């Protein structure tokens, strides 16, 4: 089974090469090659799930792979998964399959588009599987290239600005992270485990100091913040969020889905895999700062969403708010809070994917995203009357995002509040207001778009076709099933989250 991770990681690359070998004129063949590739990759992630031992807290011994890469500097090609990374890997496989189907109508440079999508999928898998810090960083950076071109070529009117802003923000955080990686390499004596993420964990840098600018600094505190900056920009945490609305609004629908559903989770995953276990003392010391920033993200994102007339930008700001809940759960460092945070990472990936896909379906018909147009006229109205199939699926995604009991968003947010209340009571009370504002902006959006008279423009729209309904059904099933019975995901993460909490408890 040790080769299974390699198959999951490299099969999208095989598909990318196959796509590049198909003549550009055979557009339908390119689409089907991509569809088959993403479908097989998703099935391989399910095989990973079937092979996973939920009683093992660390990396799965039978699902790991390691071989020398750059031996002179002790850099290895090392892969592994645990209960924190597996839900993200399954989510990645599912969303890329759905995004392939949602991209069926793309006509511009079809070969390049699908090749870049497959390259992006492989690089995301690499981030979630890498156990060598150098390998992790390579995949973290490689991911920027396909995202940059997918936004910059296939995006909206201001796509170049959005692509450059996304690249610069993320690259800046990556450079700071690289400084931390180099510092860790020298702090460990350039030994065999200098880039081994697992070997670096455990708080071995707590008492170490570094001489910088003529003063001795705490090594752990300084480089915890270096890692924090790299990961916080990706989440994104307030005030590092300003690249996100531009990227979302200008990106094509499928890229927005991947950005919100998977790429934002790479930031919170970085906290759980690297920042917290390598610098546990600093993580515990500054937990209140993370909680405050998470709370600000929840409230600020919700109020910004309330102010939007562009429905896609509204959902983009809602992602800032929902990822703030993940930061709150992680800062609690309790069993309920941490499990809620990881579960929210998974659940937000499905619910926000639904919302962006539904906006994309509507955009293909209207070629705009205005709830109220800039000239003051109504953009949408009476959608519920004219497009009942579309409306029903939209309602499911909206209420899952809102956190309605019985849908996936509720249980993860409930666990987060259960975990954080005793530790940060005031912050919890303030953050709950974010739920109220969230309900307000989503219901207000729904009222303006779906109720009232059917406008002449809306009368020309067709309801969802079989392809569109087909790729939305798995997400509808996911948000309902995991809202009623979240144990399959909670069982996966239970042992791994418990092991991380045991490490943090030594410094709490």
For residue 372, the model assigns a pLDDT of 79
Tell me: pLDDT of 377 over 80.
no
DSSP assignment letter at 240: S
Split at pLDDT 50, 70, 90, the class of 290 is: very high
Tell me: pLDDT of 55 over 80.
yes
Contact 11, 76 (CB under 8 A): no
Split at pLDDT 50, 70, 90, the class of 186 is: confident
Helices within 65-208 (DSSP H only)? 85-102, 110-129, 133-142, 144-154, 159-187, 197-200
> Averaged over 405-434, what is the pLDDT?
90
CA distance 443 to 118: 36
For residue 271, the model assigns a pLDDT of 92
pTM: 0.93
**DSSP H/E element including 212:** strand 209-212
For residue 416, the model assigns a pLDDT of 92
> Averaged over 337-362, what is the pLDDT?
92
Contact 181, 135 (CB under 8 A): no
For residue 25, the model assigns a pLDDT of 85
For residue 218, the model assigns a pLDDT of 82
Residue 148's contacts (CB-CB under 8 Å, 6 or more residues apart) are: 163, 166, 167
Tell me: pLDDT of 364 over 90.
no
For residue 382, the model assigns a pLDDT of 84
Q: Is 189 exposed, middle or buried (0-12, 13-18, 19+ CB in 10 A)?
A: exposed
Which of the pair, 206 or 391, is modelled with greater confidence?
391
For residue 374, the model assigns a pLDDT of 80
CA distance 435 to 243: 24
* Cα dihedral 305→309→311→317 (10° resolution): -20
Nearest to 137 by CA among 208, 82, 69: 69
Split at pLDDT 50, 70, 90, the class of 41 is: very high
Tell me: pLDDT of 459 over 80.
yes
Percent of the chain residues topping a pLDDT of 90: 48
R_g over Cα of the chain: 22
- Distance, CA of 308 to chain centre: 22
> Averaged over 167-196, what is the pLDDT?
86
* Residues 221-261 pLDDT 10s: 888 888 898 899 888 888 888 888 888 888 898 999 998 88
Split at pLDDT 50, 70, 90, the class of 1 is: low
Nearest to 121 by CA among 102, 94, 101, 103: 94
CA distance 126 to 139: 6
Q: Mean pLDDT across the chain, nearest whole number?
A: 89
Tell me: pLDDT of 399 over 70.
yes
Q: What are phi and psi of 419, to 5 degrees?
A: -80, -30
What residue segments make up the domains of the chain, in order of their start? 286-508
Which of the pair, 398 or 155, is modelled with greater confidence?
398
For residue 117, the model assigns a pLDDT of 93
* Residues 293-329 pLDDT 10s: 999 999 999 999 998 888 989 999 998 999 999 999 9
């Amino acid at each position: 089974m040790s080769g299974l991770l390699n198959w999951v990681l490299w099969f999208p690359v095989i598909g990318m090469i196959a796509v590049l070998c198909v003549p550009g004129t055979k557009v339908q063949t390119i689409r089907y090659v991509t569809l088959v590739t993403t479908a097989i990759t998703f099935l391989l992630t399910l095989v990973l799930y079937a092979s996973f031992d939920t009683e093992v807290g660390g990396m799965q011994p039978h699902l790991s792979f390691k071989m020398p890469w750059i031996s002179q500097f002790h850099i290895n090609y090392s892969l592994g998964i645990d209960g924190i990374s597996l839900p993200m890997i399954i989510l990645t496989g599912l969303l890329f399959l759905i995004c392939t189907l949602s991209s069926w109508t793309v006509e511009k440079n079809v070969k390049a588009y699908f090749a870049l999508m497959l390259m992006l999928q492989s690089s995301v898998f690499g981030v979630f599987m890498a156990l060598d810090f150098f390998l992790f960083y390579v995949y973290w950076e490689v991911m920027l290239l396909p995202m940059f071109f997918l936004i910059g070529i296939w995006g909206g009117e201001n796509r170049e600005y959005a692509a450059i802003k996304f690249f610069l923000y993320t690259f800046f955080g990556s450079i700071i992270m690289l400084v931390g990686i180099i510092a860790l390499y020298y702090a460990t004596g350039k030994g065999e485990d200098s880039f081994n993420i697992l070997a670096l964990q455990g708080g071995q840098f707590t008492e170490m100091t570094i001489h910088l600018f003529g003063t001795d600094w705490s090594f752990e505190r300084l480089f915890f913040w270096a890692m924090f900056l790299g990961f916080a920009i990706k989440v994104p945490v307030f005030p590092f969020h300003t690249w996100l609305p531009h990227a979302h609004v200008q990106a094509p629908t499928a890229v927005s889905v991947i950005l919100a559903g998977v790429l934002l989770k790479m930031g919170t995953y970085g906290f759980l895999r690297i920042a917290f276990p390598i610098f546990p003392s600093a993580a515990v010391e500054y937990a209140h700062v993370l909680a405050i920033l998470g709370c600000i993200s929840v409230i600020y994102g919700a109020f910004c969403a309330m102010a939007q007339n562009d429905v896609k930008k509204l959902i983009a700001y809602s992602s800032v708010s929902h990822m703030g809940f993940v930061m709150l759960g992680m800062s609690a460092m309790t069993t309920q809070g941490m499990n809620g945070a990881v579960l929210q990472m998974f659940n937000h990936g499905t619910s926000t994917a639904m919302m962006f896909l539904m906006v994309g379906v509507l955009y293909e018909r209207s070629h705009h995203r205005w709830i109220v147009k800039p000239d003051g006229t109504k953009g949408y109205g009476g959608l519920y009357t004219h497009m009942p199939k579309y409306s029903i699926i939209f309602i499911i995604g909206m209420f899952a995002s809102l956190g309605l009991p019985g849908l996936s968003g509720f249980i993860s947010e409930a666990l987060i509040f259960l975990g954080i209340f005793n530790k940060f009571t005031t912050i919890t009370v303030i953050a709950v207001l974010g739920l109220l504002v969230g309900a307000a902006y989503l219901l207000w959006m729904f009222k303006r778009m779906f109720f009232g008279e059917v406008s002449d423009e809306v009368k020309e729209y067709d309801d969802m076709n079989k392809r569109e309904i087909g790729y939305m059904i798995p997400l509808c099933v996911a948000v309902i099933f995991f809202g009623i019975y979240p144990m399959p995901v909670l069982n996966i993460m239970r042992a791994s989250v418990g092991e991380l909490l045991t490490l943090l408890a030594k410094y709490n």
